[in-house]
Amino acid sequence: MKWQYPLAAVALTAAFGLPFREYDAAKLLPVRTVQAAKTARGVKLVTEVGEAEGATWTEAVAALRDGASGDVFFDTAEQLVVCTPSLLPEILRSGELRPSAQLYEADALTDPEGLNEYLSAHESDRTVADARYDLLREGIR
């Protein structure tokens, strides 16, 4: 009876595959710094792996993933630079970024070259988790 469970697990794995997505390591595109701003056409994202625009944050993220030469990972982002503060709640609700990402505000989008190193040397007092907490607290009131 004890051998039936491992055998069943092997059979299910063989039939349906593993319960998580497989990635080709050569095609992984980890994002380190995400910049976001509202434009006349919606939301514009600028990262080290490329730029994209969409009507919303979610559409801009999808456009960046669709246009990239590999699998874009937002989970690896260390910094979020928001150029339009009204965009922040939409970004936070999406859950794309990890809670420990540093949060910055800027007046305009900038060249991503060297931005991660600069921001790493000038850490923010605020993280994505802090902003999510503030958003939740404001929603409760």
Q: What is the pLDDT of residue 22?
A: 59
* Strands annotated E in 55-116: 71-73, 79-82, 102-105
In a domain, 3, yes or no: no
For the segment 71-79, the average pLDDT, to the nearest whole number, is 90
128 pLDDT above the threshold of 90: yes
In a domain, 120, yes or no: yes
In a domain, 59, yes or no: yes
Q: Per residue in 87-105, pLDDT tens?
A: 999 999 999 999 999 999 9
43 pLDDT above the threshold of 70: yes
In a domain, 104, yes or no: yes
More confident residue, 69 or 45: 45
For the chain, how many structural domains are there in total?
A: 1
122 pLDDT above the threshold of 80: yes
Cα–Cα separations (whole angstroms), residue 127 to 14, 19, 82, 124, 133: 42, 31, 12, 7, 10
In a domain, 22, yes or no: no
Assign residue 64 a region: left if phi > 0, alpha if psi is -120 to 50, beta otherwise? alpha
More confident residue, 37 or 138: 37
More confident residue, 131 or 9: 131
Tokens 């069943």 appear where?
8
More confident residue, 58 or 27: 58
In a domain, 66, yes or no: yes
Q: What is the pLDDT of residue 28?
A: 80
Phi, psi of 137 (to 5 degrees): -65, -40
In a domain, 67, yes or no: yes
Please say whether the beta carbons of 48 and 112 come within 8 A. Answer: yes
In a domain, 17, yes or no: no
Full residue range of the structural domain in which residue 100 is found: 27-140
